[in-house]
Amino acid sequence: MPVISYDMPDRFVAGAVGQPGERAFYLQARAGRRVTSVGLEKFQVTMLAERLEELLDEVLRRSGGSAPVPAVAPTELQDDAPLDQPVEEEFRVGTMALAWDPEDERVIIEAQEVTDDEGVEPLAAEPGEDEPAIVVLRVRITAGQARAFAERALKVVSAGRPPCPLCGLPLDAAGHVCPRQNGHLG
């Protein structure tokens, strides 16, 4: 399994490219001039941010407050800059995993390439290999960086189309067919 590894990258963020309603979402890690971008779905960004917050809260709770986990994202780690350009997708994310490494006091995030079980054909196996080569992005960051990542990720997700005041569905520039208005444009 090929692993693209970033141990304490200069930057690790979630971001989007495109207009609301047509955005493509990415995780992007950078160390020096090396940049890796992987594509994923909006709901995956939301789930990753929420699960990161839950993991950090649990680590803090179990340690009785002694773990180096900030309760909120440190302001000095706030990153509102756009994704590094050009955004070149290495792979589409299927499965993700989170872990806390108590020895290094780091959060580990793994994003695995989508497999054929998830509807997309994986890379072909190398000669002599039994399994296809599934690529994994592995990032190790501090708890503060994880809080800042989660805060930014939730902002990116919420920066999409505004919700309809009647039904809560996203509004397109031309409106939408609102169920609360019996199918009329809202």
Residue 161 or residue 130, greater confidence? 161
- Stretch (H or E) spanning 40: strand 34-40
Q: Which residue has the tokens 């695995």?
A: 112
Mean pLDDT, rounded, for 129-139: 81
Cα 93 to Cα 66: distance, rounded to the nearest angstrom: 34
Write the CA distances from 175 to 17, 20, 162, integer angstroms: 22, 13, 11
pLDDT of residue 35: 97
Bridge-based pairing state of the strands 24-31 and 136-141: unpaired
Cα 5 to Cα 66: distance, rounded to the nearest angstrom: 28
pLDDT tens for 74-124 read 999 999 999 999 999 999 999 999 999 999 999 999 999 998 764 444 444
| DSSP output for 52-64 | HHHHHHHHHHHTT
The fold adopted by the segment(s) 3-161 is Secreted effector protein pipB2 fold (3.30.2450)
pLDDT of residue 50: 97
Residue ranges per domain, the chain? 3-161
pLDDT tens for 22-69 read 899 999 999 999 999 999 999 999 999 999 999 999 999 998 888 889
Taking the complete model, does pTM exceed 0.85, yes or no? no
pLDDT at 128 over 70: no
